[in-house]
């Protein structure tokens, strides 16, 4: 019950965060994001659409990391479109994407970066929370008996909202938001469960790689 309660608080806070800065990446009005958020300062970034850091923060002390369960949220108009998938298929997609995100981040940080994944709090442990929101799949493959082939230019898009905390104190060190779309080939291609999963993993690898590079960079500065 405690884990579920924490996830609800996390989702609520990130909902407020998204509402405040989502216009940076997808808003029609293109207004500037707030310069501060929950004590964090908006910092220029070439990697993500919006990055907020605690003044004077450093990732240098963190040699290990914790990964919280990943929250997945579809774009509202996608779920209300009757041509889309059933509620059971949506839950399956949520579960598969959340599991893929955890595995991609684990591999990037643990196998490529040498940072150990742990479950306990400690002074050298960084707590990583992530949510995937505004998920839009152009042509979901449900594997139904009446299956038809769908051809698309892009598999879809999603937005990452991430939070980094000190595992012991719970202090928020950084928050980031970044929207990414699947690759556009310039031609129509067959959309399948395999191709959709591959495009999702490509986007996840970009985000996981950015976090690993930030941790690596802190070791040398």
Q: What is the DSSP string of 70-101?
A: PEEEE-HHHHH-TTS--HHHHHHHHHHHHHHH
Instruction: Output the pLDDT for position 3.
Output: 45
* pLDDT mean over 10-39: 60
Instruction: Output the pLDDT for position 161.
Output: 92
Model confidence at 4: pLDDT above 70: no
Domains of the chain, residue spans: 2-220
Tens digits of per-residue pLDDT, 123-148? Answer: 999 999 999 988 888 767 655 544 54
pLDDT bracket for residue 122 (50, 70, 90):
very high
Q: Tokens representing 161? A: 């909202």
Bridge partners (DSSP) of residue 158 are: 180
Q: What is the mean pLDDT of the chain?
A: 80
Instruction: Output the pLDDT for position 145.
Output: 44
Q: Rounded to an integer, what distance in angstroms lies between the CA atom of residue 131 and that of residue 127?
A: 14
pLDDT bracket for residue 186 (50, 70, 90):
low
Give residues with Cβ within 8 angstroms of 82, minimum separation 6: none
Instruction: Output the pLDDT for position 152.
Output: 37
Instruction: Output the pLDDT for position 45.
Output: 93
pLDDT bracket for residue 11 (50, 70, 90):
low
CA-nearest of 159, 207, 162 to 68 is 162
Q: Is 62 helix (H, G, I), strand (E, B) or coil?
A: coil
* pLDDT mean over 107-116: 96
CA-nearest of 154, 158, 99 to 133 is 158
Of 20-34, 79-93, 109-123, 205-219, the least confident:
20-34
More confident residue, 207 or 193: 207
* pLDDT mean over 36-60: 92
Of 67-71, 74-78, 81-85, the least confident:
81-85
Instruction: Output the pLDDT for position 112.
Output: 94
Instruction: Output the pLDDT for position 165.
Output: 95
What's the predicted TM-score (pTM) here? 0.80
Backbone angles phi, psi at 57, to 5 degrees: -70, 155
Q: Is 123 helix (H, G, I), strand (E, B) or coil?
A: coil
Backbone angles phi, psi at 198, to 5 degrees: -65, -45
Model confidence at 153: pLDDT above 50: no
Contact 69, 7 (CB under 8 A): yes
Of 46-50, 110-114, 137-141, 143-147, the least confident:
143-147
Q: Tokens representing 96? A: 């598969």
Q: Is 152 helix (H, G, I), strand (E, B) or coil?
A: strand
């Amino acid at each position: 019950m405690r884990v579920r309660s924490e996830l609800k608080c996390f989702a609520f806070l990130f909902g407020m965060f998204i509402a405040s800065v989502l216009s940076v990446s997808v808003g029609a009005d293109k207004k500037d994001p707030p310069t501060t958020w929950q004590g964090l300062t908006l910092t220029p970034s070439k990697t993500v659409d919006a990055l907020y850091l605690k003044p004077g923060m450093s990732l240098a002390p963190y040699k290990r990391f914790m990964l919280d369960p990943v929250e997945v949220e579809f774009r509202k108009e996608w779920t209300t479109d009757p041509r889309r998938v059933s509620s059971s298929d949506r839950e399956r997609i949520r579960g598969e994407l959340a599991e893929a995100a955890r595995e991609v981040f684990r591999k990037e940080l643990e196998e490529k970066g040498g940072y150990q994944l742990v479950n306990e709090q400690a002074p050298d442990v960084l707590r990583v929370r992530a949510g995937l929101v505004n998920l839009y799949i152009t042509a979901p493959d449900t594997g139904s008996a009446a299956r038809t082939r769908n051809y698309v230019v892009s598999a879809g898009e999603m937005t990452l909202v991430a939070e980094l905390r000190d595992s012991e104190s719970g202090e928020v060190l950084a928050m980031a938001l970044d929207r990414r779309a699947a690759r556009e080939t310039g031609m129509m291609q067959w959309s399948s469960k395999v191709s959709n999963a591959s495009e999702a993993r490509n986007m996840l690898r970009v985000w996981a790689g950015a976090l690993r590079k930030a941790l690596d960079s802190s070791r040398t500065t």
